[in-house]
Structure 1
Amino acid sequence: MAYTHILIPIDGSEPSLEALKQGLSLAKANQAQVTALYVVPRGEEFIEVFTLKSVKEAFYQEGEKVLEKARKIAQEMGVSLNTRITEGRPPEEIVEVAKNLGCDLIVMGSHGHGMLGKLLIGSCTERVLAMAPCPVLVVKK
């Protein structure tokens, strides 16, 4: 099956960067469009102290850093990369962006930066697997 648009959610963790490389390789082989997505968690995901504007700005700055690293990796691999930052609950945002962009594959790490990141499969990945509008390739680091 040839893929035409691959979505790669990344958070800067090792598994997400490994997923980025795998997704870029697939995109290159399929001559597919590829979008890297960074999701800034909404304030209600944290205790009230974390809803401060400066903390939200820090998340956006971190997202820009992660996506810049993704652009460099893509450039080194000779793949054109679109990037996007959204805000919300990561699993829901990943699924929504995949639907809106018409992606036919999501490539993501088995777990991210979460506190329980080392356990089996991350809750974000698990939820995306359950809700995704297309196949999901889970990359284990």
Structure 2
Amino acid sequence: MYDRILVPTDGSAETARVVEHAAELAEAHGAELHAIYVVNSATFASLPMETSWEGINDMLQEEGESALEDVRRVADRYDVSLTTHLVEGPPNREIVRYAEQGGFDLIVMGTHGRGGIDRLLLGSVAERVVRASTVPVLTVRVGTDENSPKTEASEGAKGSS
């Protein structure tokens, strides 16, 4: 059913749970597993002009590489091939673009499951991906009891452009 699975990472400790779920799916289906980290350089646009952009970019790249290495450590426990990707841009747009252009069958990503005012104020990369993606998205709730994983499936916005 799945040949290519994409798992975005933000470098948080909770991502391990999401990667485990994605790796289990990839192993069960004999699928390729790809991890993506999106450097969101727009968040640093408000820094003073005298700030060294090169230094910030280097720091963000290092964070991304570290996050992808964390994914590799988790995926190594499974019989799957893992390819990692480091890209720049708005995370939700880059995840959707990468998944659609790369011919992925599934995106597996974490969500904190916030609702109400928290979601309104903080936004949700996962929610934006679910709404914009034509690739099905499986969300794995993080930040809850580790012994009771909760997942939700979405078919994405089929046929929207």
Q: Which has the larger radius of gyration?
A: 2
When residues 18 and 44 of structure 1 are mapped into structure 2, their CA distance, relative to the original with a 3 A threshold, is: closer
Identify the residue that residue 115 of structure 1 maps to in structure 2: none
- Supply the RMSD in Å over aligned alpha carbons: 1.9
Identify the residue that residue 37 of structure 1 maps to in structure 2: 36
Offset of residue 123 of structure 1: 1.4
Matched, 1:63 2:73: no
Q: Which runs of 4+ in 1 moved over 4 A?
A: none
Offset of residue 51 of structure 1: 7.1
Q: Give the distance between the partners of 1:110 and 1:134, measured in 2 at CA.
A: 17
Give aligned pairs, total.
Answer: 134
- 1:7-86 mapped onto 2 (5 Å cutoff): 7-43=6-42, 46-49=45-48, 52-86=53-87
Contact 2:31 2:80 in 1 (8 A): no
TM-score (norm 2): 0.76
When residues 15 and 133 of structure 1 are mapped into structure 2, their CA distance, relative to the original with a 3 A threshold, is: farther
Contact 2:5 2:104 in 1 (8 A): yes
Structure number with higher relative contact order (C-alpha < 8 Å, ≥ 6 residues apart): 1
Identify the residue that residue 138 of structure 2 maps to in structure 1: 137
Contact 2:16 2:74 in 1 (8 A): no
When residues 72 and 98 of structure 1 are mapped into structure 2, their CA distance, relative to the original with a 3 A threshold, is: same
Unmatched 5+ stretches in structure 1:
112-117
Q: Give the distance between the partners of 1:76 and 1:137, measured in 2 at CA.
A: 21
Contact 1:5 1:105 in 2 (8 A): yes
Secondary structure of residue in 1 paired with 2:77: helix
TM-score (norm 1): 0.86
AA at the equivalent of 1:6: I
**Identical positions, percent:** 37
